[in-house]
Amino acid sequence: MGFAGQLKLLLWKNYVLQKRKVCVTVFEILLPVFFALLLLFIRSRVDVTPIDTASVWDSFDVELNASDRANRSHYIVYSPNQTFKGFQSEDDILSYHSANPRNIWAAVVFDDSQDYSVSLPNNIKYSLRVARLKATDSWRTNRVYPFFQRIGYRNDDQKGGRPNYYETGFLELKLRVDEAIINYTSASPVDFSNVNISLKKMPYPKFSILKKFGIDEDDGAQNVSVLVVMVH
């Protein structure tokens, strides 16, 4: 049997199989067409706004200004309690904060596996816990990047935006704790009055902002993603 005969036999066999399963045949034809039209619809609903220049932000001081400081609570708690009045453990701090959420600005938690009763250890470890600026803010410090990444910068906020490291006072508190540790461990007092600490966001190259179904990603909204899986 030649090539033409083999081809004719194969086509006849496929025709018989498709004829016996009319529903399967219809779905095999219509489903790819439906998904193609769905993708075209989604693409038609996406507006692209190009950012033709690199995004560069100004630097800012880590110290809170007067108005931001006035909006924060003034109590700072710490642990472990071995020299001054404090809390024995981080659990005690969390319990106290739960009972007085509006009074606590921040907590400084030193590593309680070390002894602070006489002097500071050579290797000082501590954690900072600050009150959230908004109830919806979340501190996912175990992640370097968001679980769902999007195109472009996270936000256009000069000071970083959520979770608001500047506005919560986290940056200034860390600066003050480090200055206190440096002064305590130095042979002579260190004058930080002429030292200005500032931060600056990394610049971001040009990109395009996607606006999907009326939701602007640049406004901090969650991505609206559609995943179409076609399995044959």
- Tens-digit pLDDT profile for residues 151-197: 788 888 998 888 888 888 889 889 988 988 888 888 888 888 888 88
Looking at residue 79, what is its pLDDT?
67
Q: Is residue 226, in this structure, part of any structural domain at all?
A: no
Note whether 82 and 21 are same-domain residues: no
Non-local (6+) Cβ contacts of 59 within 8 A are 198, 199, 200
Per-residue pLDDT tens over the stretch 99-145: 776 777 888 888 877 777 777 888 888 888 888 877 777 777 777 77
Query: How sure is the predictor about 1, in pLDDT bands with cuts at 50, 70 and 90?
Result: low
Higher pLDDT, 56 or 22: 56
Note whether 194 and 215 are same-domain residues: no
Note whether 101 and 187 are same-domain residues: yes
Q: Is residue 228, in this structure, part of any structural domain at all?
A: no
- Which residue has tokens 């009763």? 117
Non-local (6+) Cβ contacts of 117 within 8 A are 82, 83
CA distance readout (Å), 42 to 51, 101, 155, 213, 217: 22, 45, 24, 8, 16
How far from chain centre, in Å, is Cα 229?
28
Note whether 33 and 117 are same-domain residues: no
Q: Is residue 39, in this structure, part of any structural domain at all?
A: yes
pTM to 2 decimal places: 0.63
Note whether 172 and 67 are same-domain residues: yes
Q: Which domain holds residue 167?
A: 60-199
Per-residue pLDDT tens over the stretch 121-130: 888 888 888 8
